[in-house]
Amino acid sequence: MHHVTWDQTIKLRTKILREELRLVGVEASKDEAAHLAVLALRKYDRYDLFSPGETFLSRLISWLENFDQEDRQIAMDIVDSLKFVSQYEMKELAVATFENVRVLLGKNLSGLPRENWSVYIDSREQKVNDELSKSIFIACADDILFDYLRRYAMQQVDVFQKDNFVEYYKLDEGSRANLPPFERVYLIDQLSGSGMTAIRKENGEWKGKIPTFFEIWQNDLKNCDIYYCPFLQSSVSKRHLQRNLPKWSKETGVNSLVDLLPTCSVSFSPCLSSDGGITINEDLPVAKLCRNEKYFSKFVDDRHIRKGGLAYYGFGRAGLTLILQSNCPNNTIPLIWHSYNGWFPLFPRVAHHR
């Protein structure tokens, strides 16, 4: 029986891909096609919302056919800019989030012995563990691998009880009364793409996960430090939260400030930015493609999308080409994920608010 090697598989897929792209008017070098073929096998084909037997490369050709032939080569710039976060990578982000908490606690320690290095190390570890035992980790969403984070943390630190981990922030008063004493709270989120889901002002009222959390937990947060900890945070979200958290705190009289502790930062997509992801350059070909009324008119926004303004560049103008293995965020440009009016999505999305 003949065994097909990895190299042979990639060579064959590269050849087929180049031929199929050529049929729809797109030119790709051998290296470009090989790179895409490897990413498809290693990552993109594992997207959870693909139907059984579907592959990224088969969807790619159908997606390109959404566009007029003269625009398909530009659309490939979007494909080249994709950032796909696998389930394994998301688990690593969960681990890194917890380790960031440990590092932060260690930096804030004082009063440790300095005369003996080994005594200092032991004392520091004990002190960090004591502080961790007075911490509560709270999930802000239902798809953030929170159970994985909890199991990892409890493996690393034996002072934890299961009640140090709250699976959802909308917890009733009776359940909150049974929690161990705590001095700090870590609000764990998967992605903050625009920051508007976390906090926003709507019709003169503050809305979002953070204000809602404070409304529910306000009697439990005296002299408590609060941290908002998204695994992934966009540059748009960072600016939005830095601007709006102080306003909300001042207007509502909330005594506890919320500090940001993101694990990984995500900038504007390279296909939309010419300054390293700092701003969107609306003169770039992909930016013009996103705003092209011929294509954007097929997109149907709903009341949830509308809160972020025109979604040419994704919800809240986040300008991402980010794909999570479990779903495609609405902060990613709609050309990639929407399926309205006959549009064929590259990565179909399921809306949380559906």
Please give the pLDDT value at position 84: 98
Flag whether pLDDT at 117 surpasses 50.
no
Q: Which two tokens stand for residue 333?
A: 């440009």
* pLDDT surpassing 90 at residue 107: no
pLDDT-derived band at 223 (thresholds 50, 70, 90) equals confident
- Mean pLDDT, all residues of the chain: 92
Burial 11-31 (b: 16+ CB within 10 A, else e): eebbeebbebbeebebebeee
Backbone angles phi, psi at 15, to 5 degrees: -65, -45
Segment 25-53 mean pLDDT = 96
Phi, psi of 139 (to 5 degrees): -80, 135
pLDDT exceeds cutoff 50 at 332: yes
Percent of the chain with pLDDT over 90: 82
Query: 244 vs 131, 212, 266, CA distance in Å?
Result: 29, 15, 20
Burial of residue 137 (CB within 10 Å: 0-12, 13-18, 19+) is buried
Q: What is the pLDDT of residues 293-313, one digit of tens each?
A: 999 999 987 777 777 788 899
Q: Which residue has the higher pLDDT, 118 or 286?
A: 286
Domains in the chain with CATH codes = 1-65 (no CATH), 88-266 (3.40.50), 267-354 (no CATH)
133-184 per-position pLDDT tens digit: 999 999 998 878 999 999 999 999 999 999 999 999 999 999 999 999 999 9
pLDDT at 354 over 60: no
Residue 84 φ/ψ region, left for φ over 0, alpha for ψ in the -120 to 50 degree band, beta for the rest: beta
Reported as a pLDDT band with limits 50, 70 and 90, residue 109 is confident
pLDDT of residue 144: 85
